[in-house]
Amino acid sequence: MTVKTFKLQLEDKEPEINSEKSPAYFADRIVFEIKEKGRFASVGRDTKPDANTLVIDGVVTKYHEGNPMLRAFIGMGAGSAFFEADIYFRDSKGEAIGKIKADRNSWALGGGLAAAQNPTMFMNGAAVKIAEEAVKLAR
């Protein structure tokens, strides 16, 4: 199993604070969650795949930290945080064998819950789901 560093192709042309770090962080978090499952003999980052290697890669398409104060006090979508990515499961030859879309945003109603939500939290949650799907594809 290897997880490649994700590409960053944001819909917004203006890079968001911390967006440049998100592809590597997301891949690292996926590796961590897959290792926690204990299903793969080897889990690496950007390693060369052999014939039996499952490869995970993808593209971060939306990363917006938003404004936690607006989320807390205004709500109704003001200051929303977003994270979106296309995640691909591939065989060792690069052929896609599965795809997941991560599409998360902060809670629209505001308050403390919405204020605490951010792209890092969304990436962590998506990594757990990706690890669960990877286990299903294990041989």
The distance of Cα 34 from the centroid of its chain, to the nearest Å, equals: 13
Identify the helix (H) or strand (E) that includes residue 55.
strand 55-64
CA distances from 45 to 1, 48, 61, 127 (A): 9, 9, 21, 14
Q: What is the pLDDT of residue 14?
A: 64
Q: What is the pLDDT of residue 80?
A: 83
User: Half-sphere exposure of residue 59, counting CA atoms within 13 Å on the CB side?
Assistant: 5
Nearest to 29 by CA among 136, 135, 123: 123
pLDDT digits (tens, 9 = 90+) for 84-121: 999 999 999 999 999 999 998 887 777 777 788 888 99
First to last CA, the chain: 11
Packed helices 119-137 and 22-37: angle between N→C axes, nearest 10 degrees: 40
- Domain of residue 85 covers 2-137
CATH number at residue 55: 3.40.50
Q: How far apart are CA 33 and CA 117, in angstroms?
A: 20
3-state secondary structure of 115: helix
Number of domains making up the chain = 1
Q: What is the pLDDT of residue 98?
A: 94
Residue spans of alpha helices (H) in the chain: 22-37, 68-73, 111-116, 119-137
Ranges of residues in the chain with a pLDDT under 70 are: 13-16, 75, 139
Model confidence, pTM: 0.88
